[in-house]
Chains A and B, each alone.
Chain A
Amino acid sequence: MSLLALTGITKNFGEGNVLKGISLEVQEDELVAILGSSGAGKSTLLRLIAGFEKPDQGEIVFDGNVVAGESFLPAEKRKIGIVPQDGALFPHLNVYDNIGFGIAKDPNKDSRIQQLLKLIELEGLEKRKPQELSGGQLQRVALARALAPKPKLVLLDEPFGALDAELRDRLRNDVRRIIHAEGVSAILVTHDQEEALSLADRVAVLREGRIIQVGTPTEIYNSPADIGIATFLGESVLIDGKVTDGKVTTDLGKLTALNQVVEGQSGVVAIRSENFYLQPNPAGDSEVVGRVFFGHDAVVEVQTPSLKIKARSNGPFAPEVGMKVTVWVRGAVNFYPTK
């Protein structure tokens, strides 16, 4: 049985539905990312799971009990940890008291706090006030505070949003390590696809109040359910195509579709920018018209006879502007028939 099960959750704040029938399951010891752009309803969903809001319809079952639906269990009774966006440490308490806040009556409080301090690698900083911590330290303390009472589930609300890129990378690894060390399930809400893909065991894509697709990061990335997800998850080039002889005929040649196709159907294929291969060819019919160099890779803009594409190329070997090339598409593509 799953640890958390949401069925048919809707929520309306009077300005149109924020959530329109959400169903989702989270297993024990699983990290699920809910990925969506701002306004998709991510935070509302998290607050419903935590117990700060009541769903209008639908049911939430947590750890074998109905917590919303027929009966309602408020946040303080659910034992679900939360890590808010900016950490939200209690500003009047030091690190030690922040972490110990939820286990005030626990006889093993001190050893538990020490254990967590070690886990988050902040030993020796227990006397510090939140104002004296860096952004990454704040988030780690917030995580330790949520984990202290040993909840079965923690909710992470865009926990890395306010940090700079390098810190975000490090903290991501830390969080993954800490959560696995504690053997707790987690739901991470984020608008950052890289974060969701790199951190989660499974990703649920939320758009306009609906979950559009759930799957492992690889599934989601390689087989996005629709064009929207395809472009949201990474740079994709969209090209018109038509199914003939079981293949998709496009301006870039005949491509193999990953999904089931129907003969004669027309639609669009989405090609990830890293799936283009640019072969230098003085007699090629395409020309490099732009190049943005990032070091490890480069984004190369290519004008083909019929369209302009952006291809990601191995940095050191990226063709220069003005070079003639032939464009190849590597591997199979996703085909989305026109409705």
Chain B
Amino acid sequence: MQKPPVLTVVLGVFAALLAIVPLGYLVLRLAEGIEAASAELARPRTFELLSNTVLLVVSVSLTALVVGVVQAWFVVRTNLRYPGFYAVVATVPLAIPSYVLALGYVSIFPWFSGFWASWLVLTMATAPYVFLAVSAALLRVDIAAEEVGRSLGLSRLQVFLKITWPQVRTSATAAVLLVSLYVLSEFGAIALLRFDTFTRAIYNAYRSSFDRTAAASLALVLVALTLVIVLLERRYRGDYLMQRPANPRRLKQDLGKLQTPVTLLLALFGLLGAGLPMAALLNWTMIGSSSTDLAKLVSATLSSFGIALLAAILVSIFALAVSIWVVLHKNKLGSFIEGLLWSNHALPAIVVGLALVFFGANVTPWIYQSIWLLMIAYLILFLPNGLAAMSTPLAQVPKGLTEVSQSLGQSYRKSLTKVILPIASPGLIAAAALVMLTVLKELPATLLLRPTGAETLATRLWSATEELAYAQAAPFALVLVIIAGLPALALNASVRKTYAEVNEE
């Protein structure tokens, strides 16, 4: 196999250094001040945060599992009317950042806060992950095995429990672990709904004192919790027993009299997950339309776009370099670096933000409070997304093409730029666009690291909600959903579709 191009190696190693140095620094500094840190953690408050966090993670995971599986079952496995519509309804919450969802609820019900509020909002925000994973798995369940089960005398419920569920379980478990990572690192919604978990406590500790030991110690506990889930997740990832998609006619069971109640249930989920909060925000935008500061809205939109575009370009360059290295020239160092970068996918953004504040203030004051520190945070946070999205189109380019191109007299470098990259480019561009849309929605790291005076849609929305000015916050939320959320949802769906099609072959 060819050696990887030097540039990809240089970029890859540089990305790896960026990814570990700030966090490593956080750990080292804490280790130096181990006494202060352990004193901080020994307070009963830590235990309260821990139990709150675990309670929220576990309860949301369970309900998101139930909601997602129910939606997936009815959409995929029954003769529900308009299944396509309900599939969209089930995934639409993905387009809405969870803090926007929370804002929608708070703006209707001012008393909406605490555990139950966070539980509801995060359940609705994360159920789509379960829905997507489980509906994909249900489409590929071995229908013949289910029929054998029935021919051996099992009732429909027994068939589901003994034959269908074991085939879906791995996907569902992976999705639930993803959900728990999401809840663990969620900051915006939880802070807005004033429920004390680690992320909110970290932010408050950071805001309230110049001694950052408290915030940093809590951040490390959060990382430890994350690590537990990541290790669990690793055991389940990719362990699928999938078949080809089944004959749709055999897949569908007759709902009969349940048609209407099921439709109502799915509509209710849609209402809770998107309809109600979005209607509220739309309403607030109308009410406040005369007082909406259009100039602020436009400037926040532009600076959001500018920042996200820059981040997407940087992330894409590094992601492409590492992907080329890993996909086309797999070697030990490359795989190691990919694994290292990937391991950051679960890192809560608030922790990354805090580590960079720490690092920037103490080690690299020359980029502190500049846009570059924020860019490093985005690199750490979104390089895993970029890697996942970019290696797929690269891996799909037929292997022999480079060799053919070289046999026709092109250098390796020319073959790469004239053959492989053009073929993969639609997928690569989609990947870059997805990164950009994801950056647009990012809140906690942006909040901590934005250059002085810079305001994005997300930070404007945040400061307005802190002042309980819902009419002011609502237009920012709406614009965010329209320019970032919905396009990301559409793009994601099309990426998933091509991916599925390619894997059918």
Footprint of B on A, CB under 8 Å? 13, 50-52, 74-82, 84-86, 88-92, 101-102, 142, 145-146, 148-149
Contacts and interface: CB of A to CB of B under 8 A. Distances in A.
A88 B154 contact: no
B145 A90 contact: yes
Contacts of A77: 153
Given A13-B249, A52-B250, A84-B144, A90 B151 contact: no
Nearest to A129: B241
A79 B154 CA distance: 11
A157 to B, nearest CB: 8
Contacts, number: 65
Contacts of B83: none
B365 to A, nearest CB: 57
A13 B249 CA distance: 9
A184 B121 CA distance: 58
A84 B249 CA distance: 17
Nearest to B249: A13
Interface in B133-178: 142, 144-145, 147-155, 163, 166-167
Interface of B: 142, 144-145, 147-155, 163, 166-167, 241, 249-250
A81 B151 CA distance: 6
Nearest to A157: B144
A101 B149 contact: yes
A184 to B, nearest CB: 14
21 contacts: A52-B150, A74-B150, A76-B150, A76-B151, A76-B154, A76-B155, A84-B147, A88-B148, A89-B145, A90-B145, A90-B149, A90-B166, A91-B166, A92-B166, A92-B167, A101-B149, A101-B152, A145-B152, A146-B151, A148-B152, A149-B153
A76 B153 contact: yes
Q: Is the interface of B mostly helix, strand, loop or mixed?
A: helix
Contact of B151 (A13, A78, A89): A78
Contact of B147 (A50, A86, A91): A50
Contact of A82 (B142, B151, B163, B250): B151
A74 B144 CA distance: 16
A225 B366 CA distance: 93
A142 B145 CA distance: 10
Contacts of B152: 76, 81, 101-102, 145-146, 148-149
Contacts of B166: 90-92
A52 to B, nearest CB: 6
A145 B145 contact: no
Contacts of B149: 90, 101
B159 to A, nearest CB: 8
Nearest to B170: A92
B380 to A, nearest CB: 38
A102 B153 contact: yes
Nearest to B151: A82
B145 A50 contact: no
A85 B151 contact: no
Contacts of A74: 150
A81 B147 CA distance: 10
A75 B241 CA distance: 25
B241 A92 contact: yes
A74 B155 CA distance: 10
A80 B142 contact: no
Nearest to A105: B153
Given A90-B166, A91-B167, 9 more contacts: A50-B147, A50-B151, A52-B147, A79-B153, A85-B144, A88-B144, A92-B166, A101-B152, A102-B153
A80 B151 contact: yes
A75 B151 contact: yes
Given A91-B167, A92-B166, A82 B147 contact: yes
A90 B155 contact: no
A87 to B, nearest CB: 8
Nearest to A81: B151
Contact of B148 (A13, A78, A92, A146): A146
A102 to B, nearest CB: 3
A82 B146 CA distance: 11
B205 to A, nearest CB: 46
Contacts of B167: 91-92
A12 B148 CA distance: 24
Given A13-B249, A90-B163, A102-B153, A75 B145 contact: no
B148 A82 contact: yes
